Structure 1
Amino acid sequence: MNIRPIRTQDDYRAAMREISIFFDDEPEPNTPEGERFEILLTLAQAYETKNFPIDPPDPVEAIRFRMEQAGLTVKDLEPMIGRSNRVYEILNRKRPLTLPMIRKLHDRLGIPAESLIRPLSDARTS
């Protein structure tokens, strides 16, 4: 089964070429091909995590994403944030989230707490 660690960009490209073949015809689990596919995916994921980390979004981006994803309106956020003017202040980055808001957004909408506690970025969204 001659599989090596992925240490360089060339190793990664070679692994991705081999993985892409399996995507067209995914092998059965618990077969030699299935195990090779699973090992290559694990190695590629480890390399990507180490070399291409993705930071969680800032709180406003996370809230807007969940709103879009679930079809939520400002009114839907009022039980977690407060009156609509407070929701707009949060969404327009005029006011930071409080700890109770963070807890409610996390508990009720499933937004990762690590995203909600990040500092607001300077990016302005409309």
Structure 2
Amino acid sequence: MDIRPLHTDDDYRAALAEVLALVDQDPEPGTPEGDRLEVLSILVEYYEGGLMATEHLLRSPTNVDHLERSIDQLRSGSHRDDRAPESSWNYRVMEFSEGEERWQAIHEVHYREGVPASYSEQPASVQWDAEDSNDTGHGILDRMRDSLNKPVLRPEDFA
């Protein structure tokens, strides 16, 4: 299995495209394709979370031990949390184009098993119940702000 860390948005897009293709194939867990899907999904999820800064990881014996344990957990399947939702959502920056015109907006992106599956038709808005405190608004804005630090998605990134 030839899999490398995702260092650039191009690496991310290539991995995401492969994940989407593998999801369509619906490989059995434990098969080479199933293992590839699992590992690539984890890499995509980590990259989206801004956790792929790996330059420092191999400089410490402690980190090497941690990586070896993580690889063992991946192989055994013991890293999975049975309570983890099969679907979730988050705000993400989406880029659209029509002819020469290009624009970006924050949308709600829905995930199925950690893979972007669909997005809201309209850009996200900031609104909350009048009875809720302004902390609710701050929470929404924080999640939107976090989306600015993740790779930009395009409609073709979805299955």
TM-score by length of 1: 0.44
- Bigger share in helix: 1
TM-score by length of 2: 0.35
